[in-house]
Amino acid sequence: MSNPPEVRRVEELTLNSSAPPGQVLYDGWILRLLRGRTKRSRSVNEVYASAVSLEEKIDYCERLYREAALPALFRLTPFSQPHDLDAALERRGYVRFEATAVECTPIDRGLLGEPEAQPMELSSWVEAVGQLRQSSIAHRSAHLAQLQAMPLAMRAVAVKSQGRVLATGLTILEDGCAGLFDIVTADEARRQGHAQRIVASLLRLAWDLGARHAYLQVKEDNIAARRLYAQFGFEERYLYWYRARPGEAQ
């Protein structure tokens, strides 16, 4: 892929790179029901135009998530179908939260040196991410199962000091594009350039594997992270956000 991907293609890439082991396709919507920390893997994603009435579809999703003992969580984009879904959920009392920017950039080889972060075996890397995030054992198991089931090339890296993991990152590659994920730094190791080393290393690895464009997802209000990513040319392409019942927005 030599030209920048269209935003709808970027959205497909983000969905592919977060695909859980099991999901349900219902009238143009992808319903994901994987227990874990990542909201993309346990939410409704509206992709294509549909035929079933909107109220009937929302009822179906609520019932399915209730049976799975999960909160009904809807992930929306500017091109979610139908276009009045956001308003319909608001009328039902769903609150909007966690707006996230999807940012993209062509990979500039001139900004990248040799990778400074070290490669890690996937299961050990997932455990390290879980420790940094203080995730539950169940969330770590779900994270590993999701990645192991994914039929896409990926590379996991970490910055270490005296055998201890200080920062992590992951790239998942598809169609000449590299997604950057799980860029996490230990609290006591922040502001030491570790995240910058992770991003540079992931982009260099992605370049060597043939990727020429990259994307990532970052909370809209995370100004420090967005300034870091801007150093590598990342710019916002679109926002997505979630809606959930009050008390279930997490």
> Cα–Cα distance between 53 and 56 in angstroms, integer?
5
> Cα–Cα distance between 3 and 244 in angstroms, integer?
36
Closest alpha carbon to 132 in 184, 197, 176: 184
Predicted model pTM: 0.86
In tens, the pLDDT along 18-61 reads: 666 667 888 888 888 877 777 888 899 988 888 889 999 999 99
On average, the pLDDT of the chain sits at 90
CB distance 242 to 96 below 8 Å: yes
Tokens read off for 20: 């859980």
Exposure letters 149-183 (e unless 16+ CB within 10 A, then b): ebeeebbbbbbbeeeebbbbbbbbbbebbbbbbbb
Pairing of strands 213-219, 95-106: antiparallel
Region at 202 (left for phi over 0; alpha for psi -120 to 50; beta for the rest): alpha
Higher pLDDT, 8 or 208: 208
In degrees and rounded to multiples of 5, residue 85 shows phi and psi of -60, -45
In tens, the pLDDT along 52-103 reads: 899 999 999 999 999 999 999 999 999 888 889 999 999 999 999 999 999 9
- In angstroms, what CA-CA distances link 189 with 37, 159, 165? 23, 10, 10
Fold for 104-237, please state it. Answer: Aminopeptidase (3.40.630)
Centre a 10 Å sphere on the Cβ of residue 8 and count the other Cβ atoms it contains: 12
Pairing of strands 74-76, 44-46: parallel
Domain spans of the chain, in order of start: 7-103+240-244, 104-237
Count of alpha carbons within 13 angstroms of residue 172, beta-carbon side: 22
